[in-house]
């Protein structure tokens, strides 16, 4: 594969919605690859205005470099690979393995990411304080006051955009558990990674997308300790942590996810 180099002093920006697990995918890949970037987080719905300025679609993450604006997490991982030293690349050279990695990651993106998100937000959105912490809102009085005025509007936008309802959340929960079972089945032959013998985009995508549901230490933004999660949600999160697929994710977060150094900028 071709080799590209990030020029010294070149400005790369990762536009995020702080706690988003799709943004965590991109952040993890950038940090793992040793690439230099600045993260800029915005609250929804303001993120969409900034995206438009860069000609990007509606969602985050968006990677802005002097060479390209890349506005999808899977496309970002593919874009980054040539900039990363070969031993740390996320896509195997062998065509068959590469295809398998792309197919698995794409399935997680389509079916797992939205399910985890809607299920967790259904349970977390009632607690404005908790959501404020997830979004990195400062604890000072003025920030908290502004947040308490703004949050109801943001919550309404999120509920509508993601169609967050109890019946959907229950189906999402079932889907998350079913995909955990599928992944555990794959790992049951003792393999250390989903494809091949080192971390690939399939592992990273699965791990990042479920990290908030297993409260993975080393996640790039704040996740609450288990005892602060709503009591009725806790047993499910503990069950996922103890599930073989959950233990796999916690292992990857422990061994493969260097703690995030990216400074958080919470824009309006």
Ligand X SMILES: N[C@@H](CCC(=O)N[C@@H](CS)C(=O)NCC(=O)O)C(=O)O
Distance of alpha carbon 171 from alpha carbon 9, whole angstroms: 47
Quote the least distance from Cβ 106 to ligand X, whole Å. 10
The residue from 6, 73, 200, 221 that contacts ligand X (CB under 6 A) is: 73
Stretch that binds ligand X, among 55-63, 146-154, 168-176, 251-259 (CB under 6 A): 55-63
Q: Is 17 in the site for ligand X (CB under 6 A)?
A: yes
Q: Which is nearer to ligand X, 50 or 187 (CB)?
A: 50
Q: Which is nearer to ligand X, 44 or 196 (CB)?
A: 44
Q: Is 59 in the site for ligand X (CB under 6 A)?
A: yes
Q: Which of 114, 121, 224 is nearest to 166 (CA)?
A: 121
Q: What is the largest CA-CA distance in the chain?
A: 55
Quick check: bond before 45 cis, omega within 30?
yes
Distance of alpha carbon 166 from alpha carbon 153, whole angstroms: 20
Which positions from 191 through 230 interact with ligand X, judged by CB under 6 A?
Answer: none
Distance of alpha carbon 23 from alpha carbon 60, whole angstroms: 6
Quote the least distance from Cβ 59 to ligand X, whole Å. 3
Stretch that binds ligand X, among 71-79, 146-154, 238-246, 257-265 (CB under 6 A): 71-79
Q: Which of 111, 125, 145 is nearest to 19 (CA)?
A: 125
Q: Is 44 in the site for ligand X (CB under 6 A)?
A: yes
Distance of alpha carbon 110 from alpha carbon 170, whole angstroms: 18
- Interface mask (CB under 6 A) for ligand X, residues 160-179, using x and -? -x------------------
């Amino acid at each position: 594969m071709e080799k590209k180099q990030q020029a010294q002093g070149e400005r790369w920006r990762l536009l995020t919605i702080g706690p988003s697990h799709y943004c965590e995918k991109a952040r993890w890949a950038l940090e793992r690859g040793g690439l230099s970037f600045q993260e800029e987080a915005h609250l929804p719905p303001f993120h969409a205005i900034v995206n438009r300025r860069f000609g990007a679609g509606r969602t985050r993450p968006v990677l802005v470099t002097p060479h390209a604006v890349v506005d999808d997490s899977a496309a970002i991982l593919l874009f980054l690979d040539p900039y990363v030293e070969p031993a740390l690349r996320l896509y195997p050279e062998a065509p068959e393995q590469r295809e398998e990695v792309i197919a698995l990651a794409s399935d997680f993106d389509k079916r797992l990411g939205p399910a985890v998100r809607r299920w967790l937000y259904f349970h977390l959105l009632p607690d404005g304080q908790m959501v404020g912490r997830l979004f990195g809102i400062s604890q000072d009085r003025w920030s908290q006051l502004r947040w308490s005025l703004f949050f109801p509007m943001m919550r309404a936008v999120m509920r509508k955009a993601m169609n967050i309802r109890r019946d959907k959340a229950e189906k999402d929960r079932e889907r998350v558990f079913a995909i955990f079972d599928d992944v555990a089945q794959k790992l049951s032959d003792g393999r250390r990674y989903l494809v091949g013998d080192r971390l690939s985009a399939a592992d990273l995508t699965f791990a990042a997308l479920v990290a908030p549901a297993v409260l993975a230490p080393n996640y790039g933004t704040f996740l609450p300790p288990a005892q602060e999660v709503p009591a009725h949600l806790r047993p499910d999160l503990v069950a996922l942590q103890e599930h073989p697929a959950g233990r796999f994710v916690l292992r990857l977060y422990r061994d493969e996810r260097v703690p995030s150094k990216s400074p958080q900028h919470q824009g309006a």
